[in-house]
Amino acid sequence: MEKNLALVLLLSPFVGFLFNIFFGKKVSRTVSGAIGTLTVVLSFLLSICFFSQLNQSGKPFEFSVFDWIQVSNFKLDFGILLDQLSLLWLLFVTGIGSLIHLYSISYMHDDENMHKFFAYLNLFVFFMITLVVGSNLLVMFIGWEGVGLCSYLLIGFWYKNQDYNDAAKKAFIMNRVGDLGFLIGMFIIGALFSTLNYAEIKTALAAGNADTALLGVAALCLFIGATGKSAQLPLYTWLPDAMAGPTPVSALIHAATMVTAGIFMVTRMNFVFDLTPDVQNIIAIVGALTALVAASIGLLQNDIKKVLAYSTVSQLGLMFLALGFGAYNVAVFHVITHAFFKACLFLGSGSVIHGLHGEQDMRNMGGLRKAMPITFWTMMISTLAIAGIFPFAGFWSKDEILMVAFEHNKVLYVIASIASIMTAFYMFRLMYLTFFREFRGTEEQKHHLHESPSLITIPLIILAVLAVIGGAINLPGSMWLTHFLEPILGKHEAHALGTHEFMLMGVALVGALVGILWANAKYIKQAFVPKSDAEITGFNKTIYDKYYVDEFYTFLIVKPINGLSNFFRTTLEPALGKVVFSFGSLANGLGTQGKKIQNGNIGLYLFVFVIGVCAIITYLFIAQ
């Protein structure tokens, strides 16, 4: 029974995908959207059932569906594991997924390919569930690659625009760089433990006979996989470009769920990472640097979605910082709160873009507060949450990350704090430029300004509420989340709330306020509007152009490979061909020389023949 329910939970979105792919065109758009949404809602409801059951029994639920791949030293089955971690992820993946599906019914209603959009979204949810519920690394890898595929399909959803297609392709390929790391990590673990099943790896590790050097390599490779999917240095550049996709996609895939897969994986494999402190250090450093770099780029972006994209990268960096210190519970906490407010922010930005008929440049916005009150207030709440203002959800989770960082490494703490201040600044810059002061767009746009329909605002409101109260799941006093995850992550001693902690909270809060005031001074008091692209100069231009990282990659990797390809194609291939042909030429040359003997003079032939016979006879005589 449970087994079947779990399969329904997994396959329900897939059924939605099949329906929409095959029959989506035949039914009306609303029906197609409704079916897409309902299948995800069903998964959500089942997740709640399993969750409450797990809460009572405390026993994780694991079973194997069928045998899949067999290699010599172990067998890989398609196994499902529903434990605390996977159910937690399931809840917010399907929950937020449902909301975003609902939102998309309205948002995508005018698109002729809406049924495909829902098909892809459903497929994404299916793969995300697969990623989360797999009981071994290979099943996770199916989901891992599958969500990458859906990301590719959805970024390039408007396929007529080749720039979007380029962005989609870039996302897929950069993800695949990470995937190679994942694969190699999987191979090493498979070779070491003869299994890829989480529980079995854990048992084997507990027995304590692992080659730590090799284990370190494996952990590092897995982390490379995570940097690809979760957009960390140096593989983060695809995520901002991924904003080419429709906004609900950005919200669902590129902010709330898929990009957290890397964090999920590291948390899942916590027992491996715990044994490899060097790799943990690397994770922490990479996380902190990503947070800083992305936040600094976010300071000067003018595309509303790009700002949110860089803020996502930056927040993911903070989560990795926590992971690097072994504070998995803290990272998970931030994943969840971040999912709430970042989904809300993206959907809000979608509402704005929807209201302005596709305008994404904040220089052409402003003053939308009055026209779109619900969008404004929900986004404001989420902005306060992401900036880390008491008592919104982001305050609690970010504060815990900073606290952990302070405990372990002061330098990284400072970096993370700077990133947080920047976050507060650019998020309020976004709010001020979008919603405050006068409208800077065209008259026609102004004329059409309106609040979005309720299918768009309801998800916004729900998410905003969650962004307010989401912090409750792991308040310093109760620490419900931490306790809930104990079976997987082991015991973490709860912070006693001393003066020390209050002081850190205060510092974080002051930092956030500084960022907000700085934005207020610049964009409200001075009424500053960012300059047009051509006027940006100096270091600002460097930041505006994202430190030229893309250009650097193009120069360092893409160009050489393409150059090599051209060289191989135009020079080496023909040269190799010539070597083969040279054998033919050799034969030809011999023939040209040889044919001179063949002059057709029968008399000569006979003469040579007789001479030959004589020579042979003579030789035979001498030989005797």
* Contacts to another protein by CB under 8 A: 21, 25, 66-72, 78, 138, 141-142, 145-146, 149, 152, 156, 159-160, 162, 165-166, 169, 172-173, 176-177, 179-180, 183-184, 187-188, 190-191, 217, 561-562, 564-566, 568-569, 573, 576-577, 579-581, 583-584, 594-603, 606-607, 610
- 62 CB contacts (<8 Å, ≥6 apart)? 79, 80, 81, 82, 83, 135, 199
Place of tokens 């002059």: 599
Which CB atom, from 10 or from 307, has the smaller least distance to another protein?
A: 10
Spell out the SS3 assignment of 233-270.
CCCCCHHHHHHHCCHHHHHHHHHHCHHHHHHHHHHHCH
At 549, which helix (H) or strand (E)? Answer: helix 549-553
State which residue, 165 or 360, has the beta carbon closest to another protein.
Answer: 165
Rounded to a whole number of angstroms, the minimum distance from the CB of residue 257 to another protein is 19
Minimum CB distance to another protein smaller for 49 or for 615: 615
| Shortest distance (Å) from residue 87 CB to another protein | 23
- Identity of the residue, 510 or 606, whose beta carbon is nearer to another protein in the bound complex: 606
The minimum distance between CB 306 and another protein, in angstroms, equals: 23
Q: How far is the CB of 14 from another protein (least distance, A)?
A: 11
Closest separation in Å from C-beta 574 to another protein: 9
- Long-range CB pairs of 441-448 (<8 Å, 24+ gap) are 441/356, 441/359, 441/364, 441/365, 441/366, 442/364, 445/356, 445/357, 445/359, 445/364, 448/355, 448/357
CA–CA distance, 44 with 97 (Å, rounded to integer)? 9
CA end-to-end distance (rounded Å), the chain = 98
Nearer to another protein, 180 or 503 (CB): 180
- Judged by CB, which is closer to another protein: 478, or 565? 565
Per-residue tokens: 338: 């971040």
Check residue 111 and give left, alpha or beta (phi > 0: left; psi -120 to 50: alpha).
beta
CB atoms near residue 359 (< 10 Å):
17
Of the candidates 133, 47, 27, the one whose C-alpha atom is nearest the C-alpha of residue 95 is 47
**Are 221 and 283 within 8 A, CB to CB?**
no
Q: Which amino acid is at 343?
A: A
Residues 55 and 309: their CA atoms lie apart, in Å, by 35
CB of 364 to another protein, least distance (A): 26
CB 70, min distance to another protein, A: 6
Query: Which of 30/562 has CB closer to another protein?
Result: 562
Identity of the residue, 475 or 564, whose beta carbon is nearer to another protein in the bound complex: 564
Both tokens of 540, joined, read 């600002």
Q: Is residue 80 within a helix (H) or strand (E), and if so which, with residue range?
A: strand 74-82
CB 579, min distance to another protein, A: 8
Q: Distance (Å, rounded) from C-alpha 207 to C-alpha 602? A: 91
Nearer to another protein, 510 or 561 (CB): 561
Q: Given the complex with another protein, which of 142 and 380 has the nearer CB atom? A: 142
Of the candidates 39, 95, 543, 96, the one whose C-alpha atom is nearest the C-alpha of residue 346 is 96
Dist. CA 75–CA 553, nearest whole Å: 39
Task: Between 541 and 578, name the residue whose CB sits nearer to another protein.
Answer: 578
Shortest CA distance to 99 belongs to which of 251, 307, 306, 265?
251
The least distance separating another protein from the CB of residue 6, rounded to whole angstroms, comes to 17
Round to whole Å and give the CA distance between 275 and 213: 10
| Cβ proximity to another protein, 155 vs 289, nearer residue | 155
Nearer to another protein (CB atom), residue 373 or residue 591:
591
543, 297 contact by CB (below 8 A): yes
- Smallest distance, Å, CB 273 to another protein? 20
Single out the residue of 389, 414, 385, 390 nearest to residue 402, CA to CA.
414
Min dist. Cβ of residue 22 to another protein (A):
10
CA distances from 53 to 11, 59, 82, 84, 539 (A): 20, 9, 11, 11, 56
